[in-house]
Amino acid sequence: MNLQANKNREYLRTTLLFISILVLTFSGIASAKDLDKTLLLNLNIVDVENSVLLKKHSVLIAGDKILAISDDPKEFAQQATTTIDLAGYYALPGLFDMHVHLATSPSSYDNIEDVKKRLSFLAKKGVTGVRDMAGDVRQLSYLSRQAMLDEITAPDIYYSALISGESFFSDPRTHASAKGLIPGQVPWMRQVTDSSDFQAVVAEAAGTGASGLKLYGDLTGEQTRQVIRAAQKIGLPTWGHAAVIPVKPRELVDAGISSVSHASLLAWSSNNQQPTAATARYSDFEIDLQNPVFNSVLDDMAAKNIYLDATITTFADHNSEFVYSNGIKAAKAAFQKGVPFVVGTDNRLNYWADYPSLIDEMLFLQSEIGLSAMQVIQAATLNSAKLLNIDTQSGSIAPGKKANLVIVQDNPVTDLATLKKVKMTFKNGKLID
């Protein structure tokens, strides 16, 4: 009898403890009515989802999200704990730089203190998201966590795991990104061969927390197809250079890659030359815009919604004669065919500059490639979020999405250069000082 009573008491204590834990856990989850609310009054909002400008609207922010938007300035007045009148100012979604490198050599020029300065500079200038295109995931995952939790002033970081053929791993950069381990044998920077277990390679890469896989070079067409197929099975985006030499753009597009970088490399689809090594990817020849294969590649990119990260301005001083001009011509042709764009730089991030090089790339897409200001803004916001599979959370100013906003003085739809002078940035609902 005493034994049974003891069991009953123990069961009761365990049950009460469990209930107490539940109460404490759920009491820590704030509802919208419990959160501090910031009201931004009289804003002109760039609505990238509908390609319109919403004049004199109010945005109510609760915690890290946009709670509501209204054209009635009085609607949320009683709910707000903080009110900021931004009459005459314009708001657009936080920008993405979709081609950065933050951790190629964490023990050297990408040391964490310097990288934090770059990230702080970007966030203060309106960039609330970046896609890192391969580096040491040990540093990237740490910084990504800090950025997500706002423990540092930084854009959110979406990083890549890299897959390449054998010869790439003689590159000193791979040794720096895998320092202490064997380049090509770490899950964030993996060498593959015909005998690789591609499903396992991709699963291990995804296990690093990577937002996507970058295909780099010296892969065969079949290896490329295997990697992309394995990634598609688990819903992981794939991206890479527009020519993963010796694989050319036609094979990448046929395989269903999600995004390609460097418009200049699309030139490889305009001739019959067969490059033999990734180091030869910028060989000099002039693009043939009339080539039927080149045009079919662009048609299929548009049909399959394969994004182009053109990175044109970074090649302005390239020592090869045609690389820069090929990039301009290819990007123009891609835009005319309806290929969707994201905006990336692939430049060194200079935190002492007046504004990020992302803005120069955006202005170039408008002035030289033909995108309208609205289309450029969409490329740097909503399209980027779609490629990263986060467009239900980010990429536009809408209820339920993260409160990532850039405030500028003038209308960016008529004067994109106003992005050079950001008035303020909100990231996760917090005003960045």
Write the CATH number for 374: 3.20.20.140
DSSP assignment letter at 365: I
- The verdict on residue 11 lying in a domain is no
At 299 the pLDDT is 98
User: What is the per-residue pLDDT for 278?
Assistant: 67
Q: What is the pLDDT of residues 340-378, one digit of tens each?
A: 999 999 998 889 999 999 999 999 999 999 999 999 999
| pLDDT value for 136 | 98
Q: Is 228 helix (H, G, I), strand (E, B) or coil?
A: helix
pLDDT, tens digit, 9 for 90 and up, residues 183-228: 999 999 999 999 999 999 999 999 999 999 999 989 999 999 999 9
Nearest-10 Cα torsion for 135, 342, 167, 324? -120
Q: In this predicted structure, what is the pLDDT of residue 122?
A: 98
| Mean pLDDT taken over the chain | 91
The residue length of the chain stands at 433
User: For residue 285, what are the domain limits?
Assistant: 94-396
**Residue 60 in domain:** no
Instruction: Kindly state whether residue 405 falls inside one of the protein's structural domains.
Output: no
Residue 9 — pLDDT band, cuts 50, 70, 90? very low
Give residue 272's pLDDT. 85
Q: How many CA atoms lie within 13 A of 106 on its CB side?
A: 17
Three-state SS annotation for 165-183: CHHHHHCHHHHHHCCCCCC
Confidence of residue 35 (pLDDT cuts 50, 70, 90): low
DSSP 8-state class, residue 417 = G
Predicted local distance difference test score (pLDDT) of residue 275: 73
**Domain total for the chain?**
1
Asked if the structure places residue 340 within a domain, the reply is yes
433 compared with 427, residue with greater pLDDT: 427
The secondary structure element, H or E, covering residue 231 is helix 221-233
Kindly report, residue by residue over 144-176, the tens digit of the pLDDT: 999 999 999 999 999 999 999 988 899 999 999
391 alpha-carbon distance from chain centroid: 11
Region 90-108: mean pLDDT is: 98
Residue with the larger pLDDT of the pair 240 and 282? 240
The CA distance from 153 to 393, in Å, is: 20
Establish if 89 belongs to a structural domain. Answer: no
**Distance of CA 191 to CAs 136, 182, 185, 196, Å?**
15, 11, 7, 9
Is pTM beyond 0.85? Reply is yes
Does residue 27 lie in a domain region? no
Look at residue 62 and tell me if it is in a domain: no
Alpha carbon separation from 295 to 224, 250, 272, 319, 324 (Å, rounded)? 22, 10, 14, 27, 19
User: pLDDT over 90 for what percent of the chain?
Assistant: 82
Looking at the DSSP bridge assignments, the partners of residue 37 are: 62
**Which candidate, 377, 364, 361, places its Cα nearest to that of 49?**
377
3-state secondary structure of 206: helix
Q: How far apart are CA 281 and CA 248, in angstroms?
A: 10
Interval 47-53 mean pLDDT: 98
* Helix (H), strand (E) at residue 138: helix 137-148
Residue 276 pLDDT more than 80? no
Q: Determine the 3-state secondary structure of 238 from DSSP.
A: strand
Are 397 and 93 contacting, i.e. CB atoms less than 8 angstroms apart? Answer: yes
CA distances from 363 to 109, 129, 292, 295, 342 (A): 29, 19, 30, 26, 13
Q: What pLDDT digit, counting tens, does each position of 55-70 carry? A: 999 999 999 999 999 9
For residue 88, is it within any domain?
no
